[in-house]
């Protein structure tokens, strides 16, 4: 089957650092911390007090009242990020509906709606449960609403692989365009799970940090790390077949050239300490990229959750995949600034990788103070680095053992 080239022609983002691509990237390169105390609900009975909430953001400024009334927060974020990406791409009116797809995932779906409607059920009875409950809750509806909004009649899939969701969605979209099932795909991920129920669940499975110092909470690869910080938002990329984009004079950010996807098949939450499958996903993406250049011109946006097991295991995975060249790579975890956006993480981190290639800049891993001997690679601590970036990889690891990695190069 034909092996077509795939490029990025549009991007959109809602993140704790900013609510569009420009403000998000400005936050990353300046080392801005988007983590702060939770404002959405009382945290007095929770050990975790911090999160990466969206700031200065009103859904009503982006969507009409009817859509807001019938959708969950996660669906709203998905729609807004996708609308930004499509507008950025100029794709509207330049593609047949049946040749446009949507691969957009959520790790958790409409949890806020689930909580609200369950409370109604208990307090007011079955008759007061919203008729929109199901469509607001199910995790495929973000993708479905994006398809409706943009008349995308091609393949439409909600990919849910926990914290690897966004990366898998982008990777599977690559294959769909590469093998001529679509000419363009709106791809990405979303989650809006900063709720008391989700926070309690993550706290009780010992995943979240209990730090109350926002500058020492999400500190990937630092020896003091003790858990991740929850974030929220969405990231969307318009992926397009190269000749299709070129023919319509589209702006091209970068070329998507590699994808790897594996499973640890080991444990529901803990990564395999041998890092065999996670390193294979990275190696697969790198092999597909067919990169022959200098390792010092490679950037890896690491999953880098700031949990004790993840960061040392991911370090080992990079070493397994690259051997001695691992020490020449530029690496960072932008979760140090955004927290962990769950299903959206891979999507906003793919955008960071694209921008790193486009602007020859490595965003930093902020908050570093204390070295960990088990994390001994170049993580670009505290300050961004201006240097040539010819290839950028973005790696994600999810509960259930899901591993995914994608690769972008200059065009």
Report, as residue numbers or ranges, the catalytic residues. Answer: 163, 303, 340
- Residue 13 CA to residue 237 CA, distance in Å, equals 9
Q: Would you state the structure tokens that stand for residue 266, as one six-digit string?
A: 């080991």
Other Cβ atoms less than 10 A from the Cβ of 194: the count is 23
Cβ-contact 187, 146 below 8 angstroms: no
3-state class of 135 per DSSP? helix
Cβ-contact 12, 21 below 8 angstroms: yes
Tokens 């007095």 label which residue?
44
Cβ-contact 35, 229 below 8 angstroms: yes
Tokens 């040392």 label which residue?
312
Q: Would you state the structure tokens that stand for residue 70, as one six-digit string?
A: 């019938």
Other Cβ atoms less than 10 A from the Cβ of 263: the count is 18
Q: What is the dihedral of CA 214, 24, 305, 410, to 10 degrees?
A: -150
Other Cβ atoms less than 10 A from the Cβ of 38: the count is 18
Nearest to 233 by CA among 83, 394, 20: 20
Q: What is the dihedral of CA 8, 10, 13, 19, to 10 degrees?
A: 140
Q: Would you state the structure tokens that stand for residue 53, as one six-digit string?
A: 């909430």
Q: Would you state the structure tokens that stand for residue 264, as one six-digit string?
A: 């640890």
């Amino acid at each position: 089957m034909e092996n077509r080239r795939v490029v990025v022609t549009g991007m959109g983002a809602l993140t704790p650092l900013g609510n569009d691509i420009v403000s998000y990237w400005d936050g990353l390169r300046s080392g801005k911390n988007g983590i702060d105390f939770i404002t959405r609900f009382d945290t007095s009975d929770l050990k975790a007090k911090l999160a990466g909430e969206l700031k200065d953001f009103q859904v009503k400024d982006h969507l009409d009242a009817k859509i807001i009334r019938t959708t969950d927060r996660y669906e709203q974020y998905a729609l807004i990020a996708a609308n930004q990406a499509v507008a950025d791409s100029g794709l509207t009116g330049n593609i047949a509906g049946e040749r446009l797809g949507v691969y957009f995932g959520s790790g958790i779906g409409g949890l806020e709606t689930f909580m609200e409607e369950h409370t109604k059920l208990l307090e007011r009875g079955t008759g007061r449960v919203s008729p929109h409950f199901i469509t607001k809750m199910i995790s495929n509806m973000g993708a479905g609403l994006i398809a409706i909004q943009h008349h995308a009649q091609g393949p439409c899939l909600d990919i849910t692989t926990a914290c690897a969701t966004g990366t898998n969605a982008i990777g599977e979209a690559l294959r769909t365009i590469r093998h001529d099932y679509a000419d363009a795909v709106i791809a990405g991920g979303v989650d809006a799970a900063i709720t008391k129920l989700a926070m309690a669940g993550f706290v009780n499975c010992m995943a979240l940090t209990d730090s109350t110092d926002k500058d020492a909470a999400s500190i990937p690869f630092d020896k003091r790390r003790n858990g991740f910080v929850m974030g929220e938002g969405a990231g969307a990329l318009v992926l397009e077949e190269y000749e299709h984009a070129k023919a319509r004079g589209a702006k091209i950010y970068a070329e998507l050239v590699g994808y790897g996807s594996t499973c640890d098949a080991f444990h529901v939450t803990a990564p395999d300490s041998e890092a065999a499958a996670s390193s294979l996903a990275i190696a697969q993406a790198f092999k597909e990229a067919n990169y022959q250049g200098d390792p010092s011109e490679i950037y890896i946006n690491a999953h880098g959750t700031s949990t004790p097991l993840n960061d040392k295991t991911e370090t080992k995975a990079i070493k397994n995949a690259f051997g001695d060249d691992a020490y020449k790579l530029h690496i960072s975890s932008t979760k140090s600034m955004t927290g962990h956006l769950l299903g959206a993480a891979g999507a906003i981190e793919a955008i960071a990788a694209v921008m790193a290639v486009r602007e020859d800049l490595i965003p930093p891993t902020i908050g570093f103070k204390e070295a960990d001997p088990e994390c001994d690679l170049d993580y670009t601590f505290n300050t961004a680095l201006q240097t040539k970036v010819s290839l950028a990889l973005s790696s994600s690891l999810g509960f259930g053992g899901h591993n995914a990695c994608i690769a972008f190069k200059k065009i």
